[in-house]
Amino acid sequence: MRIVLVGPPGAGKGTQAVRLAEKLGIPHISTGDLFRANISRQTELGKLAKSYMDAGNLVPDEVTIAMAKDRMEQPDAEKGFLLDGFPRNVSQAEALDQLLRDEEMTLDAVLDLEVPEDEVVKRIAGRRVCREDSSHVFHVDYSKPKQEGVCDVCGGELYQRDDDSEDTVRKRLEVYHTQTEPIIDYYKAQELVVTISSLGPVDEITQRALEALKREKAGK
């Protein structure tokens, strides 16, 4: 299957992308991973992207699209892929459509993870990260440390990252609504959108998504 995963910040896209890709036997293609891989390998696209990033500018769509195209042409993506973080706007969605047409391929589904805005703010603003090891993450409501402000694993100080503050989260949501959300209507016009709730236990959300994708595929 060829799937695009969309949803607001805090919807759990990263977690579900990894799980769904593994269950479906297709590669998870994340924009962040693409950038890191190209920059670390010092590819021409990586050098170009880094030059924009070092100057504090956004990487142009055509560079992101070229990276995605290169990744989708790898042998492990022959049977499909799951795109996470791309396309990020309608112009990228149009470019993806053209890319797929050129390769005589089509998308099977656009999976939209739906979550109330207040829940997004609660999920992200409640995160606390260990200063000693950022992989140790807790939450003031959902995953409390045994001792407030102290990491259970190494005893490091827990803190709220600047980009996890409520004001920053709401600004990120505004960007999502303005730039990314319009691609849902774009894909609805192609009858590709499958919307599921991203509330509940992680396993339940994964199962919900798999069942929705299965129904979508069977209906075609």
Q: Which residues are catalytic?
A: 13, 88, 127, 161, 172
- Judged by phi (left if over 0) then psi (alpha if -120 to 50, else beta), residue 191 lies in left
Task: Return the residue matching tokens 């803190």.
Answer: 159
Largest Cα–Cα separation, the chain:
56
For 142, phi then psi, to 5°, come to -95, -20
Q: Is the dihedral of CA 76, 80, 86, 90 positive or negative?
A: positive
DSSP H or E segment with residue 4: strand 2-6
Residues 6+ apart with CB under 8 A from 44: none
Preceding omega of 116 cis (within 30 degrees of 0): no
Q: Locate 137 and state its tokens.
A: 């993450």
Q: Locate 83 and state its tokens.
A: 């795109």
